A and B are shown apart, each in its own frame.
Chain A
Amino acid sequence: MVLPAKNLSCFTVLFLAFTASLAFQEDEFLDGQLTLVIEDALEGGPDPIFTQRSTIQVRSVKSGNAVVTHTRPWTNDLNEKLKKLVEADDLYHIRVYQKGSEEKGYVSTFTKACQVFESRLSETLSLMVDGSGTSVVGVWLITPVCVCDGEENGAESDNGGGGGDGGGGEIIPSSSSSLQHNTTVIIRSPIPAPVPDTATYIEKLEAMKNEKAEGKDNRSFLAKYWMYIVPLVLIMVVFGGGQDGGR
């Protein structure tokens, strides 16, 4: 997964096919293309300073096809800044705006800096795009580490997988300078609302009616009640025969 000495190192493409969005509908959903810029703040405090981090090229909102390019290499300097944030138990802010339409404003979210640190910069960005596929509504940042345990086994670890690092040993970089954001992007859009399913229900009722009609017994009287008639006849034959014999 680690690409050798390159500015744009890791990109993850994720195809998310929501069954609902594939469902038939008279949708005029624009299969829009968006270019999004991600900024983060490694200098926390009350007024965080944002710097550009990555760009996301959304090729298709509908299929959720997006490519992440990290425009900023992760350096020791940045690592130190993140560590400082962790020490202050501060927040890691990110914000996303759309390239070309900055006037629309940005959407932002945050997580705890220690979660980013302990997750070794890997994260999932879930972006909600509005119904027309032209702007971003909200961003959701999820890190694999949910609860910080306070141990410094995060982005700092430079001794390739030693010392009881749990899970994912192969991703651990040999030094912090080769560490890079590992971002998975999920593009989502509003689900078309459910509508009262009258058609299926009527079909079901029709089917029930048909079944009832089919179930109606059209067989002859004999075919229906042979099981009663046969023993009756047999009894009559047996007893009747006895009398005859006796005569």
Chain B
Amino acid sequence: MAAGLKAPLSLLLLLFLSHISPSFGLYEDQIGKFDWVQQYVGVVTQAVFDESTVPRRIIVATSDNVLAALATKNGDIVWRQVLESGENGRVEALVGEGQRVTSVAGRMVRTWDTLTAALIHETYLSHTPHPGLLERAVVVGESELVLGEVVAGSVVVTTLDRVSGSPLDHTNVVAPWISTDTKCGSAGKSVVCVELSLSLIFVLLLTAPSPEFVSQPLASVGLEAPEPGSQVLLQTVPGAPDHLIIQVGPGRRLVHLDGNSLHLVRDLGGSQSSAVAGGVLYSLTQVAHIVTLGAVDLETGSEVGEQGLVVELPTHTGQATSLYVHHYQTSDGGSALRALLTCSDHSLHLLSGAGVVWWREEAMARVVAVEGVDLPVDGANINFQDPLPASPDWVSSLVHRVRTQVSQVSHWVSLVMERSDSTFPAPLHTLHRDQLNLRKLLVLATASGKMMGVDSWTGEVVWRIYVSELMPLEGDKLLLYTQRTSAHFPHQPQCVVVGKHRETGEGVLVAFNPITGEGVGDRGGVMTLGFTIIQALLLHHPDHQYLKPVVFVDDTMNLHVFPASGESVVLQHKDSIFVHLARPGSTHLTGYTLRFSTPGNLVLREVWRVCVGGGGIITGVYGKLAWEKVHSPGRVLADRSVLYKYVNPNLAVVTTQGYDHLNKNTLTLYLVDTVSGAVIESVNHKKVSGPIHVVHSENWVVYTFFNDKYRRYEVTSLELFEGLSQANATAFSSLGGRATPPIMERQAYILPVGIQAATHTSTEKGITTKFILFALQTGNVMQMSKWLLDPRRPVTGGPREEGLLPYIPEMRLSPHDMITYNHTLPRVSSIFTSPTGLESACVVLVYGLDLFYTRMFPSKMFDVLKDDFDHYLIGGVVLALMAAALTTRKLAQRKALKQAWK
């Protein structure tokens, strides 16, 4: 009977546990209290002013493959449609047709309702894009669609039916002069190519019955004898499809296309971008932050001064890159102008005669790196703290401490006195650390070269830095390091962002104070390094000013240190600094030591090498967080013995992906010690493909991938244990240890949906249970306890370890576990987690197209009293008990005395 009961009981227990397991569970009135979400659209590439609906809207298509409607009044997103990612979703043409807008992206022609964002019509073009496509011109006609695909040596013109998507006509126009250097662009119904080596402009009218290139010399549009190698730029003119801007070197000309011929309209030298509205050409010139829109009547060529604009853009705005102008009749019969402007810092501005109506910080749609900086404690309070002497003995440090504390007490007393004097509240906008350090300053580095400081409580941007020459390194990465935290008053905190120069490709470093956003050093903290960075690392050892130096490896394997004074720190720890390098797509991972460095000459010497064979290449190296703390060194087994964790801080996961004719796509994970180069373990997957997301922490690795064989997403969990005893309980050394490799526990689970990004929660002391955060392809972010992914979950019966649930192959997604509740976050690129002053709490920033911030309590708020905790009752009970104890003692004493007299 008992055996029969066991199984249903365990199932019941499982059900019960899965319900009580810490789920996020938010009450409706808590929405938005501890979290915020910011939606973005990306860099606007096309815009259509929609006048058909009230309130007025601007329909925009962006480089992030988003189609959106922005309210003209305030710039809010009215609706947003996220199209396919990659080339398939890039909007090539956006045509407004009354209350509808038609977009052509990849092989999809879609018609949308501008009011409701409903998809009215969708056509799949039965036409495969040509390989080696250089440029594609799209002409959207009433009933047909003409595609002009420029490939080397020819232009393929295809006419397709707009409703059915079937091809109607197909012509191949041979043009042997087209090479990869030829610049081609589309304007209206034509393809225009400029071939500098021939000094000719070629025009091809796509809608002609038999399309043919017609050439004319560059000189005919006033661009004479261009220098070879000068840059050619072809720009369409928004609002005037039959016009085109041709820029060769400094010469910039507006030309008009009339069938197969073009003629010069105007010299636009000096202006940055132009647009046409109502027969008036608006050209933009920018000096610093002052933008001037000059208006010229296209027909007469005379300046229409009164229609121009002079507007000052907000600071930290880059150069204007494109302009869309709209001319409209105001209610009192006059005419007014609206200009939509995108800038090189990815910001979007709407200008009118009165100035900037609104602007959007679209740089936030491409956040590349995030760091959470602790806010400084109350400024007035720390003013009394003097820096500790450089080498304190115990007497002086005691004196220092007593003096500091006395001054703090006196400061507090004076503060209390002041408070009673004045009734003015403290200014609210100042950033101060809250009691539990839950408030952070999030430093965001974006692909546009703009850095922003965001207050984590409100989501407001506190400061901005725009460095126009900064762009991400290979692999779309910017390196963001906190060199000095705010814990070292009076030294200011310092962060650095490392990227590469937009033009030269050499390293660029920006050093700044993350609290104020002020650059540190000359030129606003921007430093051109003068070499190409292939590796950079932040040392753990601070210098005497508590600044952690950053070490760079350049492409000739030389070392550079920032700041230069950090060299002494490097030399001091040269025996324990190891660098590992893997070139993208290579099969080698090489480790280097700095031990042969001498003052003024830091050198790398190879000490180990790992060579992944089997036809695979290294696709990723995933280390651990440097500051990570592991609270418990072992796990208690069912028989009460302890299984010790293999906690190697130098361990990195190296993923290699290859193609094998027998097993198709293969994935091999190597766990490599980055000090000794030892391959600790490796796991081999067959018939799996990416994207691979690896979460590596403590003694475990969790990674997700797509299984080609079963066509499903899987998550694999690996856990390393030293065994029932530890080789060295006090310290870990990569150069010593057991001769036997650690025990690896492993298990796999099925995930019902795909993953966009994954990370783990991090708390200050590592006591709180780790949770894994998965950004699902459905747009939710799910939290999953590490216990559920534990590789030791028992498949069959037997003595069960504490807290382990029986193995179930498929992971369940519970709506309670969605930390984003009803928000959908498209295109999540990564998740950032940061510990707070409260051990149970962890702050989370999900970034991608949108930003979502929340705070999590993975093990619930075990270190915080409940809101409804009755302090008075507990205090009263304690006092009453004390009083009772005292009186009964008195009574007992009296009784004893009486008895003694008897």
Q: Which of B608, B614, B750, B795 is within 8 Å of A109, CB to CB?
A: B608
Interface string of A199-210 (1 = CB under 8 A from B): 011001000100
Stretch at the interface among B22-30, B307-315, B562-570, B739-747: B739-747
Can you spell out 13 A-B residue pairs with CB atoms less than 8 angstroms apart? A109-B608, A109-B677, A131-B668, A131-B684, A135-B614, A138-B611, A138-B678, A139-B678, A144-B739, A146-B735, A194-B746, A194-B748, A215-B4
Known contacts A135-B614, A142-B739, then 10 further A-B pairs from the complex at CB < 8 Å, ordered by chain A residue: A107-B608, A109-B607, A126-B739, A132-B613, A136-B611, A140-B680, A146-B727, A190-B683, A193-B686, A197-B807
B341 an interface residue at 8 Å Cβ cutoff?
no
Does the CB pair A131–B614 fall under 8 Å? yes
Which residues of chain B (228-250) have a CB below 8 Å from chain A? none
B609 an interface residue at 8 Å Cβ cutoff?
yes
Does the CB pair A104–B680 fall under 8 Å? no
Does the CB pair B796–A109 fall under 8 Å? no
Q: B596 → chain A, closest Cβ, in Å?
A: 4
Q: A245 → chain B, closest Cβ, in Å?
A: 42
Does the CB pair B605–A46 fall under 8 Å? yes
Q: A64 → chain B, closest Cβ, in Å?
A: 12
Does the CB pair B608–A196 fall under 8 Å? no
Known contacts A124-B739, A137-B682, A193-B684; A45/B596 CB under 8 A: yes
B588 an interface residue at 8 Å Cβ cutoff?
yes
C-alpha gap A149/B442 in the complex (Å): 47
B676 an interface residue at 8 Å Cβ cutoff?
yes
Chain B residues with a Cβ under 8 A of chain A: 4, 7-8, 11, 588, 593, 595-596, 603, 605-614, 660, 662, 666, 668, 670, 672-673, 676-686, 714, 716, 727-728, 733, 735-739, 741, 744, 746-750, 791, 795-796, 807-810
A106 an interface residue at 8 Å Cβ cutoff?
yes
Known contacts A138-B672, A193-B748; A106/B683 CB under 8 A: no
Known contacts A45-B596, A200-B795; A191/B737 CB under 8 A: no
> What A residues does B595 contact at CB under 8 A?
91
C-alpha gap A110/B672 in the complex (Å): 14
Interface string of A2-44 (1 = CB under 8 A from B): 0000000000000000000000000010000000000000000
Known contacts A93-B607, A137-B670, A195-B748; A147/B736 CB under 8 A: yes
A55 an interface residue at 8 Å Cβ cutoff?
no
Known contacts A46-B605, A108-B606, A147-B736; A191/B681 CB under 8 A: yes
Does the CB pair B609–A146 fall under 8 Å? no
Q: B523 → chain A, closest Cβ, in Å?
A: 37
Closest partner residue, chain A, to B751 (CB atom):
A196
Does the CB pair B795–A197 fall under 8 Å? yes
Does the CB pair A140–B679 fall under 8 Å? yes
Q: B625 → chain A, closest Cβ, in Å?
A: 24
Does the CB pair B682–A191 fall under 8 Å? yes
> What A residues does B606 contact at CB under 8 A?
108
Does the CB pair B608–A111 fall under 8 Å? no
Closest partner residue, chain A, to B605 (CB atom):
A46
Q: Which of A111, A201, A215 is within 8 Å of B808, CB to CB?
A: A201
Number of interface residues of A (CB under 8 A): 57
> What B residues does A139 contact at CB under 8 A?
677-679
> What B residues does A110 contact at CB under 8 A?
607-608, 676-677
C-alpha gap A66/B602 in the complex (Å): 41
Q: B72 → chain A, closest Cβ, in Å?
A: 52
> What B residues does A200 contact at CB under 8 A?
795-796, 807
> What A residues does B748 contact at CB under 8 A?
193-197
Closest partner residue, chain A, to B709 (CB atom):
A195
> What B residues does A211 contact at CB under 8 A?
4, 7
C-alpha gap A198/B679 in the complex (Å): 31
Closest partner residue, chain A, to B680 (CB atom):
A140
> What B residues does A112 contact at CB under 8 A?
735
Closest partner residue, chain B, to A125 (CB atom):
B739
C-alpha gap A230/B11 in the complex (Å): 37
> What A residues does B746 contact at CB under 8 A?
191, 193-194
Does the CB pair B736–A194 fall under 8 Å? no
Does the CB pair B795–A111 fall under 8 Å? no
Q: Which of A115, A130, A204 is within 8 Å of B613, CB to CB?
A: A130
C-alpha gap A45/B666 in the complex (Å): 40
A143 an interface residue at 8 Å Cβ cutoff?
yes
Does the CB pair A106–B809 fall under 8 Å? no
A63 an interface residue at 8 Å Cβ cutoff?
no
C-alpha gap A28/B606 in the complex (Å): 35
Does the CB pair A190–B716 fall under 8 Å? no
Does the CB pair B808–A190 fall under 8 Å? no
> What A residues does B808 contact at CB under 8 A?
201
C-alpha gap A172/B409 in the complex (Å): 67
C-alpha gap A139/B807 in the complex (Å): 35
Does the CB pair B747–A194 fall under 8 Å? yes
Closest partner residue, chain B, to A89 (CB atom):
B575
Does the CB pair B714–A196 fall under 8 Å? yes
Q: Which of B666, B677, B749, B810 is within 8 Å of A131, CB to CB?
A: B666
C-alpha gap A212/B5 in the complex (Å): 9
A169 an interface residue at 8 Å Cβ cutoff?
no
Q: Which of A124, A137, A140, A146 is within 8 Å of B611, CB to CB?
A: A137
Known contacts A131-B668, A192-B684; A140/B676 CB under 8 A: yes
Which residues of chain A (153-196) have a CB below 8 Å from chain B? 184, 186, 188-196
> What B residues does A144 contact at CB under 8 A?
739
Does the CB pair A197–B809 fall under 8 Å? yes
A67 an interface residue at 8 Å Cβ cutoff?
no
Known contacts A130-B614, A134-B614, A137-B611; A111/B679 CB under 8 A: no
Known contacts A112-B735, A191-B746, A200-B796; A137/B613 CB under 8 A: yes
Closest partner residue, chain A, to B684 (CB atom):
A190
Which residues of chain A (201-232) have a CB below 8 Å from chain B? 201, 204, 208, 211-212, 215
Does the CB pair A201–B676 fall under 8 Å? no
Does the CB pair A138–B4 fall under 8 Å? no
Does the CB pair A201–B795 fall under 8 Å? yes
Known contacts A109-B678, A139-B678, A146-B727; A198/B608 CB under 8 A: no
Known contacts A190-B683, A190-B684, A193-B685; A111/B611 CB under 8 A: no
Q: A120 → chain B, closest Cβ, in Å?
A: 15
> What B residues does A134 contact at CB under 8 A?
613-614
> What A residues does B660 contact at CB under 8 A?
132
Does the CB pair B613–A135 fall under 8 Å? yes
Q: B740 → chain A, closest Cβ, in Å?
A: 8
A121 an interface residue at 8 Å Cβ cutoff?
no
Does the CB pair A208–B7 fall under 8 Å? yes
C-alpha gap A77/B666 in the complex (Å): 48
Closest partner residue, chain B, to A209 (CB atom):
B7
A240 an interface residue at 8 Å Cβ cutoff?
no
Q: B414 → chain A, closest Cβ, in Å?
A: 55
> What A residues does B662 contact at CB under 8 A?
28
C-alpha gap A190/B666 in the complex (Å): 12
Closest partner residue, chain B, to A106 (CB atom):
B609
Closest partner residue, chain A, to B587 (CB atom):
A105
> What A residues does B714 contact at CB under 8 A?
195-196
Known contacts A105-B588, A105-B609; A191/B735 CB under 8 A: no
Known contacts A208-B7, A215-B4; A146/B807 CB under 8 A: no
> What A residues does B672 contact at CB under 8 A?
138
C-alpha gap A200/B612 in the complex (Å): 34
Does the CB pair A146–B737 fall under 8 Å? yes
C-alpha gap A110/B675 in the complex (Å): 9
C-alpha gap A111/B676 in the complex (Å): 7
Q: A110 → chain B, closest Cβ, in Å?
A: 5
C-alpha gap A131/B593 in the complex (Å): 29
C-alpha gap A192/B682 in the complex (Å): 9
Does the CB pair B741–A146 fall under 8 Å? no
Q: B328 → chain A, closest Cβ, in Å?
A: 60
Q: Which of A108, A124, A196 is within 8 Å of B749, CB to CB?
A: A196
> What A residues does B807 contact at CB under 8 A?
197, 200-201
Q: Which of B612, B736, B737, B749 is within 8 Å of A137, CB to CB?
A: B612
Q: Which of B610, B614, B735 is within 8 Å of A111, CB to CB?
A: B735
Does the CB pair A91–B607 fall under 8 Å? yes
